[in-house]
Structure 1
Amino acid sequence: MVENTDVVVVGGGYAGVMAANRLTRHAGLTVTLVNPRRDFVHRVRLHQMVGGTGTAVVAYGEVLAERVRLVVDSAARIDAAGRRVELASGGAVGYDYLVYAVGSDSADPRVPGAAAFAYPVAGLEEAQRLLPVLAATPASAPVTVVGGGPTGIETAAELAERGREVTLACGGVLGPYLHRRGRRSVAGRLTALGVRVVEGAAAKVTAVTRDAVRLADGRELPSAVTVWTAGFGVPDLASRSGLRTDALGRLLTDETLTSVDDDRVVAAGDSAAPSGLPLRMSCQTAMPLGARAADTVLSRLAGEQPEPLSQSFGAQCVSLGRATGIFQFGNRSDVAVPFHIDGRLGATMKEAVCKGIVKHLADEAHAPGGYRLHRVKGGAGRRRALEALSAPAAARIPSSAAAEGEMITS
């Protein structure tokens, strides 16, 4: 092990904190975490913050190892040649290895009026900007939530349970990850809460005004407050720094999460695109990838070959207000299966997951190296996709049976 090695982690979310904590298990490392906030944002609780039923802020003292030096600043540029991170404040932090874990944020809506009149909730500051707007809006005034994924569903349910008149505009199918049985359960609960759900291509939002949302079929939904949850984007730090990315801006890496441009840069979480096949954006992905990124750095320092990615999935859980939720089971390749648990038990399981996330981070802070979930074998569908990519061009043309079955679902 090389002594006095500096590792800088850029981004203090689920992946970044896990990576930083895990790196402290070796005394020869100086670990620095660069993050624009002094507190950890528990993003899976932002919908509760918006609904006024909880907080999404956790003190770093609860989840970050004492040996990690926290630099509260934003990374302006990565100088890979000089091995330093240039900071927005004008300073810089040097590194021997860098873990790129900048996470994700709200996608550019690219819908007329959305930037001016809609309120994203993907980040803490965005949620904080929405709170006084909701407080100043009568409870009887119509609220439209745009986006039928987990964040949209959870936000709509939270606001409806607090007495708001809510419409959920999916622009596609409700809960696209869910199995059809789980989707029926979620639709039933939203109906019980009074949420009006509009689905399908005709429900795609084409414009947002101060007091309405326009859909693709010409309908207008009255909307005193429009909440935007449709899609995620990725900060452009990597591309601004001259590192190769995918079309969304995620850092391109190999299967050890090492940048294709620089073996001193390792990525984790929502901002990583291993082999150009990024995993689902979620904390379920981010924390294992953070542990894997740390292990890659430690392996290289020890002169060992890092292990390739083997990501296992198990479920997606969605809260539907405070008393109900759904725990949608999936296979290890992240495809939903028919079995789910809903109702009060579903809510209890979702809450256990939210608490468990913080516990995993805190446990790794106090006993680095103890986290093991990134070593659970999985990702058979991913391995098949990688094999298909590496096959000769003629072999990539699937038979009709394969095209309609395994290749698509994996």
Structure 2
Amino acid sequence: MTKSIKVVVIGGGYAGVLAANRLTQRDDVSVTLINALPSFVERIRLHQLVGGSDDAVVGYEDVLAGGVRLVIDTVTRIGAADRSVTVATGGTIGYDYLIYAVGSGSADPRVSGAAEFAYPIATLAEAQRLRSVLDAVPATAAVTVVGAGPTGIETAAELAELGRAVTLVCGGVLGPYLHPRGRRSVARRLARLGVTVLEGPGAKVTAVRRDAVHLGDGRELPSVVTIWTAGFGVPDLAARSGLSVDVVGRLLTDETLTSLDDVRIVAAGDAAAPSDLPLRMSCQSATRIGAHAADTVLRRIAGEQPAPLNLGFFGQCISLGRRAGIFQFANRDDTANTFYVGGRPGAKLKEFVCQSTVKHLAEEARKPGSLTWVKDDKRRQLLRTSRGQAPAAADQAVQPGMRGRSGRP
């Protein structure tokens, strides 16, 4: 059968790869995945790259369906009018449908000196750079990690387990997603590793200097290496292309993940803002949203009405070095409950999730359409109750654990 329908996927992360694989269910669809890097990045292992226990990359041949065309390039513009994308190396690639899965990264820090003297960790290149910086300083050098979310916690624990002198600056509460019981467990583990944890409004960073971090309560912390894990940002490709975005820059869509501007453009992953109520960023949501985006495209090709998004969560897992971790269970609406698994079993569960996430991608490559997920009808209730709220209030209500976070289950 002639592959007469062209689908382009921008972004080769968890959402983009899952979507690309799932699209291969139809023999008449040709799928092109455009990504800047030649290897798949296990973003949930970047803290391990920094600590030296993993390289955080997997070959696309291990996770991408053989029928998907991989283009190593960067999209600089989406031309919705003529259904094409412009790439950095020159030329354009046409499409009938487009899946926008560009992912997320660190937000430009607005704190004085942070952009100059702090090291982000949201991308492969950033993590590799930080690894080189740490290798070049003495093991006794003071390290400050800014950010109380899972990335900050994992990075602090990973380095402290190696004998580094680490201070974790929360600017608020440690692990805001966690239930208080789980939070206390994490705090105990960090204390055993020797991590100094600074919480509360007085621990908010006000300035970063080459050799110090300044806090809101006037304290100055010596810091040879400052690691910045707070904040959230997305590429500005959608905005530069004239598409409707939210205040952060995520593509605005309806509940089927279809762009408000063009039914031929569908979003997936961290850069999607369905009904201006984006879900918490995590590899769990990214893969399922990627699958849903592919299903939306496949239904439109078949002349059917796409289904609204319906995704339930099961929790969040955080590694605490190589020998401990925590799996925080949650209700399907993504609110943490009292149950958690800590210690060595928590570490094993975290590793199981990391391995399973890659296996899900590979399984979808072999058997497109096989990924399933739990549902949760409370999102529909949120949508109904948020209609009279300001966008910021609605966003906060639906994302209890998102702030200062990189992708994690």
State TM-score, norm by structure 1: 0.94
User: Amino acid of the residue matched to residue 384 of structure 1?
Assistant: Q
8 A contact 1:158–1:322 mirrored in 2? yes
Deviations 1:141-193 (A, max 9, x none): 10000001000000000000001000000011000000000000000000000
Distance 1:149 1:103 in 2: 18
Match of 1:158 in 2: 158
User: Amino acid of the residue matched to residue 159 of structure 1?
Assistant: L
Find the residue that maps to 2:317 and give its secondary structure: strand
Distance 1:246 1:277 in 2: 10
Displacement of 1:55 after TM fit? 1.7
- 363, 385, 389: which one pairs with 1:388? 385
8 A contact 1:2–1:301 mirrored in 2? no
- 1:276 matched to 2:276: yes
Displacement of 1:284 after TM fit? 1.1
Find the residue that maps to 1:287 and give its secondary structure: helix
Match of 2:406 in 1: none
In structure 1, list runs of 5 or more residues that go unmatched: 398-402
8 A contact 1:21–1:64 mirrored in 2? yes
Displacement of 1:408 after TM fit? 10
Deviations 1:343-389 (A, max 9, x none): 1000000000000000000000111111112xx22141x22221123
Deviations 1:192-213 (A, max 9, x none): 0000000111101111111000
User: Amino acid of the residue matched to residue 227 of structure 2?
Assistant: V
Match of 1:400 in 2: none
Match of 1:217 in 2: 217
Displacement of 1:107 after TM fit? 1.0
State TM-score, norm by structure 2: 0.94
Match of 1:47 in 2: 47
1:121-270 to 2 correspondence within 5 Å? Answer: 121-270=121-270
The 1:197/1:379 distance shift into structure 2, 3 A limit, reads farther
- 375, 378, 381: which one pairs with 1:377? 375
Distance 2:219 2:132 in 1: 28
Distance 1:111 1:70 in 2: 38
8 A contact 1:257–1:272 mirrored in 2? yes
8 A contact 2:39–2:60 mirrored in 1? yes
User: Amino acid of the residue matched to residue 288 of structure 1?
Assistant: R
Match of 1:117 in 2: 117
User: Amino acid of the residue matched to residue 376 of structure 2?
Assistant: G
8 A contact 1:295–1:306 mirrored in 2? yes
Q: Which runs of 4+ in 1 moved over 2 A?
A: 406-410
8 A contact 2:172–2:201 mirrored in 1? yes
8 A contact 2:144–2:225 mirrored in 1? yes
8 A contact 2:166–2:196 mirrored in 1? yes
Deviations 1:224-256 (A, max 9, x none): 000000022100000000000000000000000
8 A contact 1:211–1:222 mirrored in 2? yes
Distance 1:228 1:218 in 2: 20
User: Amino acid of the residue matched to residue 223 of structure 2?
Assistant: S
Displacement of 1:3 after TM fit? 5.3
Distance 1:409 1:160 in 2: 28
The 1:2/1:304 distance shift into structure 2, 3 A limit, reads farther
Find the residue that maps to 1:155 and give its secondary structure: helix
Distance 1:3 1:151 in 2: 42
The 1:24/1:236 distance shift into structure 2, 3 A limit, reads same
| Backbone CA RMSD of aligned residues | 1.7
Match of 1:24 in 2: 24
Find the residue that maps to 2:298 and give its secondary structure: helix
User: Amino acid of the residue matched to residue 126 of structure 1?
Assistant: E
Distance 2:370 2:42 in 1: 21
Distance 1:91 1:41 in 2: 26
User: Amino acid of the residue matched to residue 375 of structure 2?
Assistant: K
- 1:354 matched to 2:358: no
1:61-76 to 2 correspondence within 5 Å? Answer: 61-76=61-76
User: Amino acid of the residue matched to residue 355 of structure 2?
Assistant: K
Distance 2:146 2:51 in 1: 16
- 1:96 matched to 2:96: yes
8 A contact 2:278–2:398 mirrored in 1? no
In structure 2, list runs of 5 or more residues that go unmatched: 402-409
8 A contact 2:326–2:343 mirrored in 1? yes
User: Amino acid of the residue matched to residue 383 of structure 1?
Assistant: R
The 1:197/1:276 distance shift into structure 2, 3 A limit, reads same
Displacement of 1:2 after TM fit? 9.7
Distance 1:407 1:362 in 2: 30
Find the residue that maps to 1:207 and give its secondary structure: strand
8 A contact 1:256–1:307 mirrored in 2? yes
Match of 2:405 in 1: none
User: Amino acid of the residue matched to residue 26 of structure 2?
Assistant: H
User: Amino acid of the residue matched to residue 230 of structure 1?
Assistant: A
Deviations 1:309-362 (A, max 9, x none): 001100100000001000000001000001101010000000000000000000
Distance 1:229 1:73 in 2: 27
1:272-311 to 2 correspondence within 5 Å? Answer: 272-311=272-311
User: Amino acid of the residue matched to residue 235 of structure 1?
Assistant: P
8 A contact 2:280–2:399 mirrored in 1? no
Q: Which moved more, 1:51-60 or 1:151-160?
A: 51-60
User: Amino acid of the residue matched to residue 221 of structure 2?
Assistant: L
